[in-house]
Structure 1
Amino acid sequence: MTASRPPVISDRATDSDARSDASPDADTTRQSWDHTDCEGSVYCPPRCPRFVDKTGTALLVRSYDPNEYEDLVAMYETFDPAQRAQGLPPQTPARLESWLEIMLEEGNHVVAVLDGRIVGHAFYTPVGHEEPELAVFVHQRFHDRGIGTELCKHVIAFAAAGGHDALVLDVEKHNRAAVSVYRALGFDAADRRGRELHMRLPLSDPIATQVQRPPAANA
């Protein structure tokens, strides 16, 4: 269940305020915001949804809402086939929807939203596994902006908060950019499988705590 693309990562298994900010209607993106003084609250998700990418554009990275299914499908329908890896995402509409339905049922999902539009999607699956698998996809129009890395940080935060032991992924060995991103996030090579590198991040790693800190703690 893996796929990998540099450097924003198009990988399968392979960048707050109150919860009201995490709704699609609250997507005040493209407006720069300064949330460095935010100390969080009991109502906050594991990681602050507010994110400013490398271009200075503000996005929301938050939990997927089932009402957004058509928007999620739309992102994948315009996914560049050249950005696919290991057959993912599936190209035909029927296979795409079948794959999404399975992943949405079995995983914990986050999306990156810009101006009400989903531009990135990441998840870990299955939720019942002690060491679920990480997957992340970013639409090609939004590569090289740190969105993939931020999505990964959200998955790490949610997996750690959910009591999982580790996250794992598989990435093509030749994809040095993606491997570098994963290493920077704390993943280590656990095994080499032909053309793929199996990587693992124990959620006892300090990054699992770091990604859950409120913005003020990291300022």
Structure 2
Amino acid sequence: MSTSQLPSEPPVSSADAATAPSPYAQALGAAVVELDPGLQRYFSQVPDGAVGRGIGMFEIVGTPRRWLWPMLAVLGRWGVLFPVHEVEVPFTIENRCTATGALHAVRRFEFRSGSREMIDEVSTRNGRVVDSLGTGGRLRVAFEADAIDGALVLRSTAVGIRLGRLRLRIPPAAAPLARLIERYDASSARQHVRFTLDAPLLGRIYEYAGSFAYAIEPENPA
């Protein structure tokens, strides 16, 4: 593994964070207007004092390849991916803007074995979305962002892992490829998401796909 670091976000004051475009909008630039209006709402900055809440159902989560589950169990303890292969999984998501302008998200999966949380924080650097996943941002993935036919399409370009104070970048030839597609269905007023993770030589090692309804609400309603 290379010790070269993935891009990290520059410091942002809390005042600037409240008015700055969201990390997704910054990465897309002028192409942000090509997103479906429903997605523009979701990928805009969450206002100070508000929270974006979604509730829905994943049609599938995980992988049937059980020999991968021990590795996924480690990632599960970090709050990244989980050793499961389940269908019809209820889930919720909460998005908040941090003091630095990053977007902090908590996804709660209602597996048959109990609730599990996937945590991530999205920022931007040099025109790329940078997603720090898990407790303490143990896994970091850089994505190229595109707006295609109204959908947001993310494709990973670099993957790194944090071990203590050391950040290691996985060599491109060995790094898994993560893809995420989010689109909005106006007829049902629901957002559809599909995430896949493919490893060299191994193929598909993880996925989730489903839909949810989303709204931005006051953090503490009167």
TM above 0.5, yes or no, is: no
Higher relative contact order (CA 8 A, sep 6+): 1
Rg larger in structure: 2
Compare the two structures and name the one with the higher helix fraction.
Answer: 1
Alignment TM-score, normalising by the size of structure 2 = 0.29
